[in-house]
Structure 1
Amino acid sequence: LVCVMSKAKDKSGSFYRFCQLCDEIEAKPSYNDKTEAISEFVQKFKGDVYLLMKFLLCKYDQRVYNIREKQLVKLMSRYLQCSHQDLLEDLEKGDHSQTCKSFIMQYKRDHPRRSSLTLKMVDQFLEQLTTATKEDDQLDIISNFFDLCTPEDVRYVTKIMDHDLKINIGPKFALNALHPKGYEAYKNSNDLELIVNRWQNHTLESVIDDSGPVGSGKKGKFTTNVSVMTPIKPMLARKVSSLAECFKRAPGGIFAEIKYDGERIQIHKDGDEFKCFSRNLKPVQEWKVKEVYGYIKKAAPKAESIILDGELLLVDTKTHQPLPFGTLNVHKKNNFAGANVCVYIFDICYLNGNVLLEDTIEDRRTTMQKYVKVIPDRVEVSELYEIKEESDLQVLMKRAMKEGLEGLVVKALGGPYSPNARHWFKLKKDYFDMADTVDLVVLGAYYGKGVQARATEKGLLSVFLMGSYDKESKQWKTVCKVGNGHDEATLKKLQKSVAKNFDKISKDPSKVPSHMDIHRQNVPDFLIKDIKTAPVWEIKGASFSTSQNHSVHTAGGISIRFPRVEKIRDDKDYNSHTTVEEILELASLDPISYVNNANERAKQVNSPSQLRSPSPSPSPSPKRSRSKSPAPKNAKKEPKEPVASTSKPRKQKRTREEFEEPDGESPVRIYTSANMKKAQKDILQTSADNSLDSKVIVQFGTTTGTNEGDFAKVLQKKWAKPAKKLKSNYKIGSLSDLGCIQPVKVDQRATMKVFVVTAISIGESGSIEVDALKDCAKKIFNFAQLKGASVHFLVDSLWPSSLRSFQVALSSQLNEEHGVHVMVYTDGQSNSNSNEVPKAKKAKTEETTNSSLGNLTAKLFASVNVVFDGFPENEKKKLARIVTKCGGSVSPSWV
């Protein structure tokens, strides 16, 4: 129950007054006016200033309430006993807090007319929410508290729960209302309560000297203390768009450091106790860092207490190269045997009672290398070079781009570590525009979220789904979502166009027509009615991308990083846009096309000329692959061409007379055999021959925890373990989405291992879905790369389309650098281009349907869409296969 304190004891201050202050801040046009409004309020305020500032800066409150917008709406429908659907429809207007307020006014007529809440009561309520994880417990807490609230109280409480008051105020202007240097003190200490206490005790005094060039970071310091186990605001980097700008901003000289594509981590060690914090100063999840603690202790045996700054990522133990961003989360699920969690250390802030923030970068680097030793693939020290010429910086940047790394961080010589200050510079390929723009068609629109929703109280559509036509599949594919490039006036004009030419589908995948290929994660709120009326916009971005983060887009695996609208092309229509084929060609020509691949990073190029580390680096382990030694100063060499990947495909043992290879250059090879039983036997055969590599055998599964297809039955007879594990994981809810994979080791002979991977890719129609297959394929190829294995598919009636389309779907997810040999085995009959159903399949079909359908032909259900209503699930699947094999299509429900 919520504890209600009497006002005689509770002097924390009126929450109603806080709401009035927020309204006043929101109405102020400038930041200085907002600061002045807070300052005037605080001077008269007699309550708890810490709680006041804590609520104003709720974005930085680290408490987790386990209630997002839709969960809150669900709880409100139960609390008010009103229609959940009505709440959801109102929520689409864009402001959940306003939805809660209006429905309380409508359904709770006995709500308090005057607020009696205090800041402490609200804080206690929020603290209670952090302990409730079950819906019924959350409902009890919310019901008891909301009974005490006016509708306006509820509006602001729900905003605080969402960590966003939407009044456009940050810590700089809020804390400077207390003291001119309040924000500077907060940056150093990251302790809001300490800052408020010092302000109240008149001990918050500045010793900052604002002189000195920006690049040097020499802006003095505050007398706030740094303590172990309390996170420090990390030093940050600002964007620069050219190499020359780095030298201009840091005239005293620069270092360049490789920028690793991992997660920022701040490591605190005090004796045997460890704490790790993220870039946002939140505790890092334990499973990510538990492997690291023991190695940090070994790497820094002389450090009783220490604070280190670095990047947490996954390292391939074969190539000793960092793996792409995001693989750490994949590692949690698949526990890759060929990869280690590793921390790359690039700075030290505290050592054995001494604060090192004001030490120069050279001194900090020397201290770090003295007290932190390298443990290969576990604890590494970042590469840092002194740069004297722009050409050296250019060569190093080219190396980073060729190796698939994020870029460079540039640091001024002699610079201190300034918490939360952007005195470093970052050079990333994302800041250099891609080679050309593309003209894309607007397929859909979304309501704005986050920053884009600040000016959208009434539900402005501000994010748009851009697409392109694929001549091969005769479908419209998605390329990217764009939310930048339009000013507010243009967005308001676009609302009329959307209302006229788009249908509201509320992100319902069943309402997407068959001529559009839209991944379920990208289904928009509104969808274009007639593609002939769709607008065409010119889109520019940082680069084309085949990153795993963009695998939900369907245009051949290509997307655009950081897209923005350059102009609205009223002079063009849907017939004159950039097609998928043209996009793929442009991406191949783009000099900074982004490929997120581990092997690409292992390629070597020349190091910059005359680069030196500010202090001796630890000797690398002999097994590690390092860049070549610096070239002579006068040698003007371009970076060498990348060395070919060392992971070469190995030919599989097969008989030429048994399988026929088709023509073509696809990395996915299709082998046709008249004797599929023999093919199955060969695939399942294991051997003790050490010359053979490992195998990944793929079977297909559903989201209901079953294996499907003729091949799955053969697999289960030989190895029952994958089917049992699939059922087990389905029951506990850990494997229930299309696009997931489940690898299981089933056999091992000498150095050869056999894995069966279940690809969750069979949809409601009973056939493999293209998007799900692509999602699974990317994960399977990455898994096979780590295991050094070949990949084997056997295609039967589960694939309703042509074998060529199956080959294309797999090829779009496979790069040469994977070094993976992919084989698809078929009897040549699983091709919808054929006008006849194979006799064996026909016989099976007739048997399945008790001969009720007679002699079927592939044209029987041409242009027919079927919905099965009232049939058992297993019968639905059988009948769905019959319809799709005979040229028809199946939908889950009537539209």
Structure 2
Amino acid sequence: MSLPFSLFAKELDRIQRTKGHSAKKAIVALMLRDRQDAETVLALLLPHLDQRVLQIKDKVLARIYVDALGIEGTTSAARLLDWRNPAFITSGLGDPALSTVDFAQSLYSVIRDRISSLSLQSQPLTVRDNSLDRKTIISFFVANLNPTEHKWLSRIILKEMKLGITEKTVFDAWHKEAQDLYNITSSLSRVAKDLIDPNVSVISNSSVSLNFPFKPMLAKSVKSLDSVEKLRQGKAFWIETKLDGERMQLHKSGSNYKWFSRNAKDYTNLYGAYKDQKLARHIHVAFLPTVDTCVLDGEMMSFNVSTSLFESFGNLKTAANLFNADGETATSKPVYIAFDILLYNNKSLLESPLRDRRKLLSMILKDSKGRIEILSYAEGNTTEDVVKALDSSMMRREEGIVVKNPDSDYLLNDRAGEWLKVKPDYIDSLGDDLDLVLVGGFFGSGYRSGKLSHFMCAVIDDSSPPDQRRYITFCKFGSGYKEDQIEEISHESEGHWQAYDHVNPPAWFIHPPTSKERPNMIIHPSHARVVTVKAAEVVESTQYGSGYTLRFPRFVTVRQDKDVGDGLSKTELEEYIHNNEGRMQSRRFGGGDGGDFDGKGKRDSLKKVSRRFTAAVVRAEYQGVKVERNEKLDEIFKGMEFCVIPGAVINVEGECLKHELEREIMKHGGTCVQNPQADSTTCVIADKILLKVANLMKEKVRKDGTKEKLFDIVKAEWVLACIDSKERLPFEPRYMLFASNVTKKHFKKVNDKFGDSFTRDVTVDSLRELFESLPPRNFHTTKRNLGPIEEIETRQKQSKIVSEIEHKYGLETNIARKFRNFSVYLDLTDTIFVSSKMLGAGTVDVNGVVVVDDGDDQGKDKMMEEITNSDYNSVCMLEPEILSRGGQVETVLGPWTTHIVIGSAEVDYPIRTVKQQQEREQLFLKLLLFYPQRHLRRPNIVSTLWVKSEFEN
């Protein structure tokens, strides 16, 4: 390069300082005036388009500079290695016009005053050769470059120029066809060499070039479903699954193949260059013999052989390497999903409509399951079709959908709107809002450097004491707000944030110590705020304390009207996940399930749905009965105020009895309200625990520190018993779904521990009810019960009754009953005994290891024989320990099973290797794939070590 790098760096400074698109473009044009140096200048101005991979990020480069400068252990070294920390951001770094700092500015401040400045021609370019020793090169630069040159050299290496110009501005300064040629070839070298004469046109028509990567057509992100209406224009559209893989273009030339990513990275070595290599050998046989050359657009996916499911993008490279190493025995393998064809036998198809291109694709390519497949599509006509497709996509845990105009041409590097990608977070009319407690923050970079730019939220651990509340981390968000909203969200200027020490975290902050999502700062909940976050779905995650996180989370607003105690609790989160099968509740157009919807994309919060006092939006079961329709009969309930919870009182046919019960109450002198008030409502009527009932059972603390009165929650049976006896009966334990502390104390005075009254005469009916309500005795011993399935189900029902009684009377904390909700299958035998209810309509072929046991004698005999000859004594010894802690141990794996306990190979199975034990786990995972309810409830597979640790904790 004839232009000295020192002058080149000064020109870059000038571009950055200059305002206005035209003025910046003029400087770029001057830098490109030497047409022979264009390739080098373009590569330095647009390093992110240079396909050479340096594999150097800011942390690696910082370490190289620290070593080359010999400043290990100094403040300057700390500034480089932790450049995002606002403590190192001071005024006067570099250009005073810059209000933020990045790595390059930090490097400038460290090197300034340390080195001398010398003129340099083309030497800096050698750093781009990844084969040279990096420290040696940087040491050379330290001795020969000035601070400004180092600043721009580091930006070139990191491929983050921050010039305030787009690649189109640079291309236009070079040649009017530069952008188009780059879209077709993805080659800066060809742009520089083929367009050296600014007056010569080289693109006669729009076409992709065989074996040269192109910039693919892109889908536009949808912000509202109005975009679908514009796309539709009264015609049908296509709906495809949005794939979670890597965009990949396939170039076929006879028996030779080329593979390129969306960013023109060459993956030919990974997927095969010839018809008998790697994945290409399976692709080649799928084409008709008449196909000589073609270019396909598609997505490379990772397929898990054992689960028969596609995996996330992060597993793709691993799957490809496994397949190349192990071939057909690989546990994961790459699969190419084609959805477009752009070149066929040297004829360009860019200007052909999508429907014709797809028709041709299906004619020349045969679907080969697990090798190469053609992406299917569904035809839609209305926005409701889009909502249904998106909802189905969420149920399948997919990323979303893509809506395409079947009459559209293929537009290179274009996102004009002929293709629309619809993710759950793009649609304001879809998804629930979660009110979460903001507890952590992450430092940003670039224009957000020195500020908290991403935030961590938590749910309240409602099992912890109110005066020692714990907060369980749940998600992280960094979008949905503007720069000027960061202070509103974080109120960082108030000084309450503290550095997070993951080695010694505070007791209130529950977060996995091995999590990769470690906040830089945390804030105590007493100073925190409640924020509303919107997302697509809830997914499992080991990176957060709750075991779950949000997919596509986005900030909505700060809830100034809510205290920290009003945030979402862990119990409410778990109930929400159970009710929605892990997905966020979709809003239907014109109102519907999941909360109120006003048709304009506005939603109500999951925690508190704002009430609209109009009959048009209040569903019938939430309305009170008309007083004038009731004829008063007596005064049994005079002076009493009731609240009958919708959906919590039903008859055997499943019909809601709310209105009927309210009429009976009012006929006998009582009054009814739709929302209970602590100072006036006598009791709440409910026969089962719904979300609203569960909330009423929780102790709440007012702002002044006083506790709100808890409600007595009474079964409808008490109301009917009062009416039958024509008198107001006292509350008794048998009538209570939940008792307040005051009522509990009263019960202890007038009843024994089984609820039998000291003062009221017993009757045959009341005695029968008393016996039925007694906790069932557990007759399990270390000898396994080999009874039929009906006996197992009976025990499960009895155990559930005990748990409900314990919950009703606040006995959940009893450590002796820690396993009260556990139904354990101990892996004692080589044969797995499973109920047919666990298998659905499928058939299981696992080499005879699995026996379907529904209580027949043959299954019992085989089971007893294997147990008698079992060497797995340490697993068997767990049974009395589990039983003594309130758990159930069953001999058959079924829908009731909550845990499958497999021995730890190094402790429990001396006759089995670790590999054999892993195979055993895989066998259970394979078996669980047949369980029809696996997405709603599936057993946890744990080791004996885990169970023993639970005993000790």
Normalising by the smaller structure, the TM-score range is: 0.5 to 0.7
| TM-superposed deviation, 1:82 | 1.1
Aligned pairs (5 A) from 1:134-213: 137-202=133-198, 204-205=200-201
Preserved contact between residue 431 and residue 542 of structure 1 (Cα < 8 Å): no
SS at match of 1:426: strand
Preserved contact between residue 223 and residue 426 of structure 2 (Cα < 8 Å): yes
Residue ranges of structure 2 left out of the alignment (5+ in a row): 85-101, 324-328, 586-782, 804-817, 834-845, 853-871, 876-901
Which residue is 1:50 aligned to?
Answer: 39
Preserved contact between residue 394 and residue 537 of structure 2 (Cα < 8 Å): no
What is the distance in 2 between the residues matched to 1:311 and 1:710? 41
SS at match of 2:134: helix
Pick closer, same or farther for the CA change 1:472–1:275 going to 2, 3 Å.
Answer: farther
Q: Which moved more, 1:662-671 or 1:69-78?
A: 662-671
Q: Which moved more, 1:433-442 or 1:246-255?
A: 246-255
What is the distance in 2 between the residues matched to 1:308 and 1:819? 41
What is the distance in 2 between the residues matched to 1:252 and 1:417? 21
Which residue is 1:719 aligned to?
Answer: 912
Which protein has the larger Cα radius of gyration, Structure 1 or Structure 2?
2
| TM-superposed deviation, 1:30 | 4.4
| TM-superposed deviation, 1:513 | 2.1
Preserved contact between residue 342 and residue 377 of structure 1 (Cα < 8 Å): yes
| TM-superposed deviation, 1:252 | 7.6
Per-residue displacement from partner, 1:684-743 (whole Å, max 9, x unpaired)?
Answer: 9999745449xxx999xxxxxxxxx994444462134x2xxxxxxxxxxxxxxxxxxxxx
Pick closer, same or farther for the CA change 1:310–1:594 going to 2, 3 Å.
Answer: farther
| TM-superposed deviation, 1:466 | 1.5
User: How many equivalent residue pairs?
Assistant: 638
Pick closer, same or farther for the CA change 1:333–1:536 going to 2, 3 Å.
Answer: farther
Which residue is 2:301 aligned to?
Answer: 313
Pick closer, same or farther for the CA change 1:574–1:820 going to 2, 3 Å.
Answer: closer
1:438 pairs with 434, 438, 444, which one? 434
Which residue is 2:919 aligned to?
Answer: 755
| TM-superposed deviation, 1:491 | 3.2
Matched, 1:362 2:328: no
Counterpart residue type for residue 48 of structure 2: K
1:531 pairs with 521, 525, 532, which one? 525
2:109 pairs with 90, 102, 109, which one? 102
What is the distance in 2 between the residues matched to 1:534 and 1:568? 11
Aligned pairs (5 A) from 1:665-676: 670=822
> Once superposed, what is the RMSD of the aligned Cα atoms?
4.2
What is the distance in 2 between the residues matched to 1:436 and 1:123? 52
Matched, 1:298 2:427: no
Preserved contact between residue 18 and residue 52 of structure 1 (Cα < 8 Å): no
Aligned pairs (5 A) from 1:701-850: 711-715=904-908, 717-720=910-913, 722=914, 744-745=915-916, 755=919, 787-788=926-927, 816-817=934-935, 821-822=939-940, 830=948
Matched, 1:454 2:423: no
Greater relative contact order: 1 or 2 (C-alpha under 8 angstroms, separation 6 or more)? 1
What is the distance in 2 between the residues matched to 1:29 and 1:231? 34
| TM-superposed deviation, 1:15 | 1.9
| TM-superposed deviation, 1:510 | 0.2
Residue ranges of structure 1 left out of the alignment (5+ in a row): 1-9, 208-221, 596-653, 674-678, 700-708, 723-743, 747-753, 758-782, 792-813, 835-884, 888-895
SS at match of 1:522: coil
Pick closer, same or farther for the CA change 1:27–1:579 going to 2, 3 Å.
Answer: farther
Which residue is 1:404 aligned to?
Answer: 397
Counterpart residue type for residue 201 of structure 1: D
SS at match of 1:266: strand
Aligned pairs (5 A) from 1:559-638: 559-587=549-577, 593=583
Which residue is 1:802 aligned to?
Answer: none
Matched, 1:76 2:76: no
SS at match of 1:343: strand
| TM-superposed deviation, 1:554 | 2.4
2:423 pairs with 428, 435, 440, which one? 428
1:236 pairs with 189, 204, 218, which one? 218
SS at match of 1:347: strand
Pick closer, same or farther for the CA change 1:408–1:488 going to 2, 3 Å.
Answer: closer
Matched, 1:278 2:261: yes
Which residue is 2:116 aligned to?
Answer: 112
| TM-superposed deviation, 1:158 | 1.0
Pick closer, same or farther for the CA change 1:125–1:138 going to 2, 3 Å.
Answer: closer
Counterpart residue type for residue 482 of structure 2: D
Matched, 1:343 2:336: yes
Q: Which moved more, 1:421-430 or 1:493-502?
A: 493-502
| TM-superposed deviation, 1:237 | 0.7
Per-residue displacement from partner, 1:470-504 (whole Å, max 9, x unpaired)?
Answer: 22366311122222244333436778726711222
What is the distance in 1 between the residues matched to 2:169 and 2:926? 53
What is the distance in 1 between the residues matched to 2:459 and 2:42? 48
| TM-superposed deviation, 1:283 | 2.4
What is the distance in 1 between the residues matched to 2:935 and 2:547? 18
1:480 pairs with 475, 479, 486, which one? 475
Which residue is 1:268 aligned to?
Answer: 251
SS at match of 1:510: coil
SS at match of 1:101: helix
What is the distance in 2 between the residues matched to 1:84 and 1:381? 57
Pick closer, same or farther for the CA change 1:593–1:819 going to 2, 3 Å.
Answer: closer
Q: Which moved more, 1:182-191 or 1:163-172?
A: 182-191
Counterpart residue type for residue 755 of structure 1: E
Aligned pairs (5 A) from 1:680-691: 682=829, 689-691=848-850
Per-residue displacement from partner, 1:487-544 (whole Å, max 9, x unpaired)?
Answer: 3334367787267112224xx420322332223212211122x3311233222x2323
Pick closer, same or farther for the CA change 1:830–1:200 going to 2, 3 Å.
Answer: closer
Pick closer, same or farther for the CA change 1:565–1:828 going to 2, 3 Å.
Answer: closer
What is the distance in 2 between the residues matched to 1:499 and 1:828? 44
SS at match of 2:337: strand
Pick closer, same or farther for the CA change 1:787–1:710 going to 2, 3 Å.
Answer: closer
| TM-superposed deviation, 1:385 | 4.4
Pick closer, same or farther for the CA change 1:392–1:446 going to 2, 3 Å.
Answer: closer
Question: Identity percentage over the alignment?
Answer: 23
Preserved contact between residue 68 and residue 142 of structure 2 (Cα < 8 Å): no
What is the distance in 2 between the residues matched to 1:377 and 1:499? 57
Matched, 1:552 2:543: yes
Per-residue displacement from partner, 1:617-651 (whole Å, max 9, x unpaired)?
Answer: xxxxxxxxxxxxxxxxxxxxxxxxxxxxxxxxxxx
Per-residue displacement from partner, 1:362-403 (whole Å, max 9, x unpaired)?
Answer: 332232222211112221111134545555555544443443
Matched, 1:131 2:131: yes
What is the distance in 1 between the residues matched to 2:64 and 2:314? 33
Counterpart residue type for residue 339 of structure 2: F
SS at match of 1:817: coil
Which residue is 2:650 aligned to?
Answer: none
Aligned pairs (5 A) from 1:407-418: 407-418=400-411
What is the distance in 2 between the residues matched to 1:668 and 1:269? 62
SS at match of 2:300: strand
SS at match of 1:236: coil
Counterpart residue type for residue 503 of structure 1: Q
What is the distance in 2 between the residues matched to 1:415 and 1:827? 59
Preserved contact between residue 254 and residue 411 of structure 1 (Cα < 8 Å): no
Per-residue displacement from partner, 1:565-597 (whole Å, max 9, x unpaired)?
Answer: 3233344332222222233444556699269xx
What is the distance in 2 between the residues matched to 1:404 and 1:177? 45
What is the distance in 2 between the residues matched to 1:712 and 1:318? 22
User: What's the TM-score once normalised by structure 2's chain length?
Assistant: 0.59
Which residue is 1:468 aligned to?
Answer: 459
| TM-superposed deviation, 1:295 | 1.5
